[in-house]
Amino acid sequence: MSNEGKVTIEPSCNSGRRRVLRAGFAATSLFLPVPYAWVWAQSEGTLKLLRAPKFALVIGNSSYKRSPLKNPVNDARAIAEALKNTGFDVAMKLDAVQAELSEAVHVFTQVLAKRKGVGLFYFAGHGLQLAWRNYMIPVDADIRSAADIQKHGVEVGTLLGGISKAVNPLNVIILDACRDNPFGSLGGVDHKGLSQMDAPPGTLLAYATAPGNVASDGEGANGLYTEHLLKEIAVPDAKVEDVFKRVRLGVRRRSNGLQIPWESTSLEEDFYFVPPKELKKISEQEEQRLFAQELALWEKIKVSKTPDPLMDYLTRYPSGRFSELAQFQLDRALARQGEKKVETVSAADNPFTKGTVRTDTNYRVGDFFRYRESDLLTKLELRIHGQRVTAINDNEVQFNKGGFVTDLLGNFIRNQKVEFTGTQFFLPEYSVGKRWSARYQRKAADWPARDVSMDFRVVTREQVVVPAGTFDAYKIEGSGWTQSNNGAFGINLQSRYWIAHGVRRFVAMETLNRDSYGRITASERQELVSYTQG
């Protein structure tokens, strides 16, 4: 008897509630209303970061012997001043030669190791990559061949290694160093811009543009990237990851998609340049009210084919419960207007990164995915079921003649008689360290609507073996909460799933849910048995 129409799975909504130079250290954005600006549910780790000393090393190199730059010195001065205004102890070096730049990096990491403070490093100037290693170029560098890059440059890896050894609580590394290559065509240099690197533990690594691409030096007093960074640093109550997400959006808008900043993060705690004046734990009632506001806005714009409503949502909610869905819709809207996609150069043989993978959304009628479902704890097989694509439109993929419906990323919209609002479970793009939150409602005719809240993180890239084969996959872990159908008690949700390049559905998924008494309410593992894709 066929099980093809008996689809009961839903995305495992898992979760339970939830000097730098020794002599140097002495010594205006879209100010839109920031959601949740006056109420915060912070961990003890975040509170410790707010109390920790803050140190910054700021480098601006303009006066190169070949191809001088107009703005890096201006950028460095402006960034240094902005950081001082937010409580950083700042050391600045302008037009640094190799010896000065190397020494400044060395002393900076020593200070972080000794003082265990928050560290921020900023470099504006020329940067190059060679053999997947990134180099900051001092102003005295005379680069005429690929070998000269290693000889005259200062490797970013030296900085990252130093902060890893420092074991300080948090670092932000900003490289506005992807200007057009001033050294012509160098033999042995295969890629422009900087190479992709994964952030070390407790670090946010930010590039002015995506790996393998180049950035603008700007037409005004500052480079395009730093111009937007200066505005966003000054926004009160903005988490550091939200600062860089807004910078990315602003640079993309200003450059008409020619330059899109990029970040890699391994942060575990929230950090603020301008922290909230008062930290409070948000009440459940107020959290529900704020979520209802965000959900209402998302419902109005979720199928928008024009960019402006989506950009407005992302400016207001850069890490919102639907921000990844909004970003996907924005990409599609801008593509319709002719924006050419800036691709991250992510190569399998780059030893410094686990890479980046974009979700394959090119579903075809007839695509078929067969899964084996078993009990996660006992390993006993429960059933085999199939998922066949039977219809597709601009925003939905229908499986098994309407048995269930997803968006193009694989997030549930309807499952038999159950409807879902914006399940930000699956993403447009995955890279190790990426984290996001989701909150949605599960609506059924015979039960009151239930909220589901989840936090997710891409934890690693690994080989996963399932009946369909061995896959090089990204492993995502999630945790959160929901309520029982009658609302009598809470349910803690735990989930894992694996996404592999070229497979439009998940490769494997695990769910383990417990009620407030510790009793298991769901325990299952789904594994891909076979699949065919058009």
Average of pLDDT values for 293-320? 97
Return the beta strands (E) in 51-98 as ranges: 54-60, 89-94
Question: What is the 3-class SS of 374-387, one letter each residue?
Answer: ECCCCCCEEEEEEE
Look at residue 2 and tell me whether its pLDDT is greater than 60.
Answer: no
Report d(CA 154, CA 353) in Å as an integer.
20
Q: List, for residues 111-133, the tens digit of each pLDDT value.
A: 999 999 999 999 999 999 989 99
Q: CA 130, 134, 137: angle at the middle one, nearest 5?
A: 95
Q: Are residues 440 and 306 in the same domain?
A: no
pLDDT given at position 485: 66
Q: Are residues 171 and 252 in the same domain?
A: yes
Look at residue 408 and tell me whether its pLDDT is greater than 80.
Answer: yes
Q: Are residues 325 and 423 in the same domain?
A: no
Report d(CA 155, CA 131) in Å as an integer.
12
Residue range of the domain that includes 83: 53-265
Look at residue 9 and tell me whether its pLDDT is greater than 70.
Answer: no
Report d(CA 226, CA 129) in Å as an integer.
21
Q: Are residues 335 and 406 in the same domain?
A: no
* 528 in a structural domain: yes
Helix, strand or coil for residue 496?
strand
Report d(CA 442, CA 481) in Å as an integer.
13
Pairwise pLDDT comparison (187 vs 218), residue with the higher score: 218
CB environment 46-60: b (16+ within 10 A), e (fewer): beebbebbbbbbbbb
Report d(CA 320, CA 436) in Å as an integer.
8
At 313, phi and psi to the nearest 5?
-60, -45
Which residues 6+ apart lie within 8 Å of 169 measured at CB?
Answer: 45, 48, 49, 52, 116, 117, 118, 202, 269
Q: List, for residues 13-48, the tens digit of each pLDDT value.
A: 333 333 334 344 443 333 333 333 323 344 678 888
Q: Are residues 338 and 361 in the same domain?
A: no
Average of pLDDT values for 67-86? 95
Q: Are residues 427 and 521 in the same domain?
A: yes
Q: Are residues 257 and 221 in the same domain?
A: yes
Question: For residue 368, what is the domain's CATH number?
Answer: 2.40.360.20
Q: Are residues 171 and 261 in the same domain?
A: yes
Look at residue 305 and tell me whether its pLDDT is greater than 70.
Answer: yes
User: For residue 314, what pLDDT band results from cuts at 50, 70 and 90?
Assistant: very high
Count: domains in the chain = 3
* 525 in a structural domain: yes
Question: For residue 71, what is the domain's CATH number?
Answer: 3.40.50.1460
User: For residue 189, what pLDDT band results from cuts at 50, 70 and 90?
Assistant: low
* 392 in a structural domain: yes
Of 303, 318, 342, the residue that ends a domain is 342
Look at residue 104 and tell me whether its pLDDT is greater than 90.
Answer: yes
pLDDT given at position 27: 38
* 502 in a structural domain: yes
pLDDT given at position 343: 82
Q: List, for residues 247-296, the tens digit of each pLDDT value.
A: 999 999 999 999 999 999 999 999 999 998 876 677 888 888 999 999 99
366 with 397: CB under 8 angstroms? no
Q: Are residues 227 and 361 in the same domain?
A: no
* 84 in a structural domain: yes
Of 202, 230, 265, the residue that ends a domain is 265
| Proportion of the chain above pLDDT 70, given as a percent | 88
* 77 in a structural domain: yes
505 with 387: CB under 8 angstroms? yes
98 alpha carbon, distance to own chain's centre: 33
pLDDT given at position 184: 58
76 with 94: CB under 8 angstroms? yes
Pairwise pLDDT comparison (448 vs 12), residue with the higher score: 448
User: For residue 197, what pLDDT band results from cuts at 50, 70 and 90?
Assistant: very high
pLDDT given at position 283: 81
| Proportion of the chain above pLDDT 90, given as a percent | 75
Q: Are residues 398 and 291 in the same domain?
A: no
Q: List, for residues 446-492, the tens digit of each pLDDT value.
A: 778 889 999 999 999 999 999 999 999 999 999 999 987 666 678 99
User: pLDDT averaged over the chain?
Assistant: 88
Look at residue 141 and tell me whether its pLDDT is greater than 50.
Answer: yes
Average of pLDDT values for 73-87? 98
* 219 in a structural domain: yes
Pairwise pLDDT comparison (206 vs 341), residue with the higher score: 206
* 512 in a structural domain: yes
Q: Are residues 112 and 244 in the same domain?
A: yes
Q: Are residues 245 and 293 in the same domain?
A: no
